[in-house]
Amino acid sequence: MVVEEVKKEFKEHVIPFWQGMMDKENGGYYGFLDYDLNLDKKAEKGCILNSRILWFFTNAYVTYKDESYLEYAAHAYNFLKEACLDREYGGVYWSLNYDGTVCDSTKHTYNQAFSIYALSSYYGVTGDAEVRDLAMSIFSLIEEKCKDSKGYLEAFTRDFKPESNEKLSENGVEATRTMNTLLHVFEAYTELYRVTKEAKVGDCLRYILDLFADKMFNPKLGRQEVFFDDEYNSLIDLYSYGHDIETAWLIDRGLEVLEDEEYTKKLTPITETLTAQVYKEAFDGCSMPAECCKGVVEESRIWWVQAEAIVGFYNGYQKNPEKVEYIKTVRAIWEYIKNHMIDRREGSEWFWEVDISGNPSSRKPIVEPWKCPYHTGRMCFELVRRKADV
């Protein structure tokens, strides 16, 4: 069964790999391993990477009940608390130098969200009031500093003055608001609400769901728009297959946690449309490209897109068991991952991307601030949590 193969891959390969990335001397986890498996112990350490590793080991413990995983989570937590957190202005930095000093002091809403996501999971396991208070303080900071009357903003200086959003813009545009940041704020708030049941967090989830439904979803094309100006006008014809399938299941997960019948009724048709449209437009029988910009498909196969597709299509199948094509898609993509995405070289993990022929021709790093165990880990943890019969 797919789920048993996935559990084995993580227990025997992925988790040990990330355990080996722990920096016992300077704290946190090493920030860079190149394609040739050369480890740079003095590379920049992304705070997003550290938050995602904290989330990863916390949920590895939840999934496998191995107490040793909590030691790795605690290591990431201590680094977040002592180095990533700005004690003067609040929030977490964008990145640190290898020794824990500040490298990039940018305060990005996306980055704040991932710290909440990780801290919420960690609090759910440890019950530590300090962790809860830290998560709630960053939640309050986002609501006070990273939001205006129309929604969530993106990038700020260390002391929360507006800054250009180069970090989460691409394809030749610079966005005032992005679907990606909103998605991960929603994801973080879902986990925070799950473990705290704070009413004000639930209210923010409803607010974000309205933004997805009313501002970001394009009912004519059955997709989300990606980059926006201040008034939510789309800036580019970009269809992000990976983000749409990810959004479909993350919104469904949020609805499950929120337990609000009105919002479930409003959003479920949208998540079903997103899933169906990605299946129609992007799945090629064995894998998925990441996006289509101005009608041109980017044909490389990226690690996180395949992982999110497995969760997204399994979620679609769970909600609509008559959609047998979705369960077949899960099986097909897992075969593709086994054959092309998993790097079998000793001391490696998964390739970042492979080309249309399944070869890692770009030679992108195995570890860097964006290449982490978050998407892959979630694929494993969600299949187990859902008791996937696949």
Domain boundaries of the chain, sorted by first residue: 2-385
Burial call 128-162: b when 16+ CB within 10 Å, e when fewer? eeebbebbbebbebbbebbeeeebbbbbbebebee
pLDDT reported for residue 213: 98
pLDDT reported for residue 167: 82
Q: What is the DSSP code (8-state) at residue 33?
A: B
pLDDT reported for residue 54: 98
0.95 exceeded by pTM: yes
Burial call 15-25: b when 16+ CB within 10 Å, e when fewer? bebbbebbbee
CATH among 1.20.1370.20, 3.40.1260.10, 1.50.10.10, 3.10.580.10 for 2-385: 1.50.10.10
pLDDT reported for residue 21: 98
Q: Which of 66, 122, 6 is nearest to 377 (CA)?
A: 6
Q: Which of 366, 360, 381, 303 is nearest to 337 (CA)?
A: 303
pLDDT in tens, 74-115: 999 999 999 999 999 999 999 999 999 999 999 999 999 999
pLDDT in tens, 259-280: 999 999 999 999 999 999 999 9
pLDDT reported for residue 169: 79
pLDDT reported for residue 264: 98
pLDDT lower than 50: segments of the chain? none
